[in-house]
Amino acid sequence: MLSTEKIIEIKDLSKVYPDGFHALKSVNLDIHKGEIFALLGPNGAGKTTLINMICGIVNIHQGKIKIDDHDVINDFRITRKMVGLVPQELTSETFETVLGTVCFSRGLFGKKKNDQYIKKILKSLSLWDKRDSSILKLSGGMKRRVLIAKALAHEPKIIFLDEPTAGVDVELRQDMWQVVKQLRSDGVTIILTTHYIEEAQQIADRIGIIDHGELILVKEKENLMRELGKKHIKIILEEPLNEVPEELKSFGLAMDENNSSIVFSYDSSDKNGISSLLQAMSICGIRFSDIETKESSLEEIFVDLVKRKSD
Amino acid sequence: MNYQAIKAIYIFEMSRMRRTLFQSIVAPVISTTLYFVVFGAAIGSRITEIDGVSYGSFIVPGLIMLSILTESVSNASFGIYFPKFSGTIYEVLSAPISFIEITIGFVGAAATKSIIVGTIILLTANLFVSITILHPFWMIAFLILTATSFSLLGFILGIWADNWEKLAIAPTLIITPLAFLGGSFYSISMLPPFWQKITLLNPVVYLISGFRWSFYENADVSVYLSLLMIIVFMFICLIIIYYIFRTGYRLRV
């Protein structure tokens, strides 16, 4: 059962950049303690602006942000200690060593030196062997890991992962998700943005979709998939049909190129669609040899929602 | 006060100096030697004494001040500009630290580096000429105040600069000319009366004069006026930095 205790509370948050670009429009959002929240949206939707405003990197134009009931401006010393950020860009002190930069991050957030903890982080991210290497010599994937290590160095309760797997190979990506799962089991709240929507589908508890600065939807992943997802049934016919019979037209069926199968799409919540269709087929004397089912992915739901919004 | 953060920034900035130790130490030693060869030997053979001090010894405080000014501005401006350029500034901006702590960390490290360089120059100069420091406490005070106030200026320039060219403009086009024209290598009493008055508009004159007084008790202006000028300059820089962090100028949008 997911906790509904709020750890981040965003009220009526707006951002207009000096060039007039309206990056966020009255966003209201609560993040729950201990959850993995995936924020999805096309490029330029406002994901990074939202994260940067929570972390204090971008000025708040209008609205309020509270972390654990503390205002992010008035109580910035309390709120910022609780937050770790892995930025989208691979930014690092090129000539510094891995260990040096991670220790710097810990100190910057007011924590005393803790060699054991730093060692644990570096080992969990497979960086321990590279601790004395300068960041300049690391691959893109390893640099991404360094950024994660830096974000974790001060033992934050909340971590923002802004596109953490961009440019990372499959193996590294899987390792990273293991780290995320471990953090979650340690009680850390995780907010992530990703282009790999199938990852959000696998890992997130709740999904938020943002587009053109507006938060279109926030739902628990399971509910989202159930309510907005579509199921598709492909019915393989024993004999091809020339056209969909009149009696079946109300089902909105699609036929394949060979007219040898029909596809019926219905809402996940629709319980009676299949039996009605099969009954109608039986009445029409249409026999079938096989049935295949397919469910909408989160990606399809996302694309559909964003498309609907822009239409 | 987040002392850990100040310490982290300070150590991180100082480690940059360790990485470039050769450049940090050898460069000022070579340039000081060259100044002594050019100014001490060539010009010094024509100007034997100024206000009772041999020319070689007379230029030492000015030489140290010249390096302190340029090093402070360069170190501090680079220290804050580089994270902006590389993008790592996000970490400082998202950390639980106030502008005072950020400033102390960056400016403290820049001032320390320039004081180290100043000390190296003093030691190098001591190999060429005999140096007397009549007021060591004042000498140290002027050294620290000048290094700190010009590091504050460098910090402001580093935030203001949005490209490498702008970063290089201030030390090259402003600080070095002001230091050369501020009496580093001569006493302003040697200038015609008109130029003496004009020179008094140069703030560096007060720094060099005060610093030289702490060595030889020779000053172009009152030592208290020198001290006042440095303190006023430092406060102006602090006010500008406060404004920068309050508005987020060139740091936060």
pLDDT tens-digit readout, B146-195 = 999 999 999 999 999 989 998 888 878 888 888 888 888 888 888 888 88
User: Does some domain include residue B78?
Assistant: yes
> Residue A191: its chain B contacts at CB < 8 A?
none
The class that CATH gives domain A230-295 is alpha beta
Q: Could you tell me what percent of chain B has a pLDDT over 90? A: 42
Q: Is pLDDT at B245 greater than 70 in this prediction? A: yes
pLDDT at A111 (0 to 100): 93
Question: Which residue segment(s) compose the domain that B62 sits in?
Answer: 3-247
From CA A38, how far away is CA A41, in angstroms rounded? Answer: 10
Say whether A91 and B88 touch across the interface (CB within 8 A).
yes
Residue B225 has pLDDT above 70, yes or no: yes
Residues of chain B found within 8 Å of residue A103, distances taken between Cβ atoms: 8
A12: left (phi > 0), else alpha (psi -120 to 50), else beta? left
B88 and chain A: CB distance < 8 Å anywhere? yes
From B8, B12, B252, residue closest to A59, measured CB to CB: B252
Domain spans, chain A: 6-225, 230-295
CB contact under 8 A, B97 and A87: no
Residue B34 at interface with chain A, using a CB cutoff of 8 Å: no
| A28 CB neighbour count, 10 Å cutoff | 12
Contact A159, A83 (CB under 8 A): yes
Q: Which of B12, B16, B253 sits opposite A59 (nearest CB)?
A: B253
**Cβ–Cβ contact A118 with B under 8 A:** no
B45 touches chain A (CB under 8 A): no
The residue ranges of chain A whose pLDDT is under 70 are: 1-2, 195, 268-271, 309-311
| Domain count of the fold of chain B | 1
Residues of A with Cβ-Cβ distance to B87 under 8 angstroms: 87, 89, 91
Nearest CA in chain B to A151: B91
Residue B238: its pLDDT value, please?
A: 94
Q: Does domain A6-225 have CATH number 3.30.70.660?
A: no
Tokens of B196: 């003496």
Measured between beta carbons, which residues in chain B are less than 8 angstroms from residue A89? 87
Distance from CA of A103 to the nearest CA of B (A): 8
CA distance A84 to chain B (A): 9
pLDDT at B250: 83
Is residue B156 a part of any domain in this protein?
A: yes
Polymer length of chain B: 253
pLDDT of residue B102: 94
What's the pLDDT at B149? 93
pLDDT at B27 over 70: yes
Q: What is the pLDDT of residue A91?
A: 81
Which residue intervals of A21-169 are DSSP H helices? 47-55, 76-81, 98-108, 115-124, 140-152
Q: Cβ neighbours of residue B65 under 8 Å, at least 6 residues apart?
A: B146, B179, B184, B204, B207, B208, B211
Residue of A57, A89, A112 with shortest CB distance to B4 = A112
> Is A21's Cβ below 8 Å from some Cβ in B?
no
Confidence check: pLDDT of B91 > 70: yes
Q: Does residue A87 sit at the B interface (CB-CB below 8 Å)?
A: yes
Q: Is residue B252 part of a domain?
A: no
B253–A contact, CB cutoff 8 A: yes
Residue B253 falls inside a structural domain:
no
In tens, the pLDDT along B61-82 reads 888 998 899 889 999 999 999 9
**What is the Cα–Cα distance from B148 to A300, expressed in whole angstroms?**
59
The per-residue pLDDT of chain B, averaged, comes to: 88
Give the distance from residue B18's alpha carbon to the nearest chain A alpha carbon, in angstroms.
Answer: 11
Amino acid at A62: Q
Buried b (16+ CB within 10 A) or exposed e, B160-199: bbeeeeebeebbeeebbebbebbbbbbbbeebeeeeeeeb
**B165 at A interface, C-beta within 8 A:** no
